[in-house]
Amino acid sequence: MIDVKNLYKSFGDHLVLDNISEHIFPGEKVVIIGPSGSGKSTFLRCLNLLETPTGGSITFQGTEITDPKVKIDQIRQQMGMVFQHFNLFPNMTIQKNITLAPVRTGLMKQEEADQTAKALLHRVGLEDKAEAYPNQLSGGQKQRIAIARALLKDAPILILDDALSAVDTDTEEQILHNLHENRAGKTTLIIAHRIATIQNADRILVLDDGRAAEYGTHEELMARGGIYRSMYEKQQLEKQLNEEGGGQE
């Protein structure tokens, strides 16, 4: 579904993505991890050409999107993207924020969009916030609204860049569980940090200093005994210490 070949990205003389070649299969949930600054966001932003790669190619459903002749707007229609920081329109209710784009673009009639938005708000646990305004919501609640908005688009590819950083662990697990059920057969790419999120991925991509250091299932990467495994063991240890120390997050 997404084929990345020899992808390079530099900002000036700073090489940020260093020869990444990976294949992302249709319907998979891929989690991308790695230290801060390792290139995770840049990698995902290259996939829909929010960043222009310095070298290499990206093929999406058989179309080489890095070819300058390709109309990227059409490709972006196939992708939903939620960032850690994003904008909700402050003067519109949550319901309106969610339904605006699909109604404007003619994807849905207002009535259908309203009904779907209600169901999606339920899915992210915020059904009582339809008539609220963004400034009445916490950071984590706003993130969940942004996810509901992306789900309404129902794109074949959904990209979440640290989009659950401000929600608590239980809520994150619940949302990911919902995503899993409701996006069956569709591809989801998630930048995440928490082990619970990562463990449930179909495949994990570990970026390290711009390189794809490891790529595989939880079991495969555990058996490999590399970066992923040491990160996993460190988090397990931290979790244990936290629980012993009174269960603080």
Pick from 2, 4, 34, 47: which binds ligand ADP (CB under 6 A)?
A: 34
Nearer to ligand ADP, 39 or 80 (CB): 39
- Partners of 208 in the β-ladder: 211
41 binds Mg ion (CB under 5 A): yes
From the CB of 163, what's the least distance to ligand ADP, in Å?
13
Size, binding site for ligand ADP by CB under 6 A: 10
Binding site partner of 11, from ligand ADP, Mg ion, none, Cβ cut-off 5-8 A by kind: ligand ADP
42 binds ligand ADP (CB under 6 A): yes
Nearer to Mg ion, 85 or 224 (CB): 85
How far is the C-alpha of 101 from the C-alpha of 17, rounded, in Å?
Answer: 32
Query: Furthest-apart CA pair in the chain: how many Å?
Result: 58
From the CB of 234, what's the least distance to ligand ADP, in Å?
18
85 binds ligand ADP (CB under 6 A): no
Nearer to ligand ADP, 97 or 143 (CB): 143
From the CB of 162, what's the least distance to Mg ion, in Å?
6
Show the binding pattern over residues 3-22: x = contacts ligand ADP (CB under 6 A), - = does not.
--------x----x------
* Positions in the binding site for ligand ADP (CB under 6 A): 11, 16, 34, 36-42
